[in-house]
Amino acid sequence: MDIPPEFVPSAFSELLGCRLQRLDKGVAEVTLTLAPQLRNRAGKLHGGAMFSLVDTAMGLACSSAHGFDQQSVTLECKINYLRAVSEGEVLCVAKVLHNGRRTLVVDAEVLQGDKLIAKAQATFAAL
């Protein structure tokens, strides 16, 4: 995996434990391991932690599409949580569907093995 020299991980994603696995033009893959501090009251991966994983991967996909010298921000994001995560690691695969002058549309899936855990779509503003 070639990581551009201008890539700087966010302190927040590092705090959560997000780890970049793959970065190609318009595509990012980021993993997150379920740690005790990421559990909800039921002992499952907290939805907010999963959403943060999705937003991180989508933002990286945007940056890889338009270049790390240009910033983008999330305008809106919709997520469907399909399965609970009790243990292990999840992988978020984010892909840019539309890379316009002003906006980007990004699709993401959260997977655990061959199981779909969550599906999301977002719009980002190119600044």
Quick check: is 3 in a domain?
Answer: no
User: 3-state DSSP call for residue 51?
Assistant: helix
Quick check: is 113 in a domain?
Answer: yes
Q: How far apart are CA 30 and CA 23, in angstroms?
A: 9
CA 57 to chain centre: 2
Residues of the domain holding 24: 11-126
41-66, pLDDT tens digit by residue? 999 999 999 999 999 999 999 999 99
pLDDT at 8: 81
Q: How far apart are CA 31 and CA 29, in angstroms?
A: 7
pLDDT, average across residues 59-83: 95
Phi first, then psi, for residue 62 (nearest 5°) are: -60, -50
Quick check: is 1 in a domain?
Answer: no
Quick check: is 2 in a domain?
Answer: no
Quick check: is 96 in a domain?
Answer: yes
Q: What is the pTM of this model?
A: 0.95
Whether residue 4 has pLDDT greater than 80: no
**CATH number of the domain residue 46 falls in:** 3.10.129.10
Q: What is the band of 7 on the pLDDT scale with cuts at 50, 70, 90?
A: confident
Question: For the chain, what is the radius of gyration of the CA atoms?
Answer: 14
As for how many domains the chain has, the answer is: 1
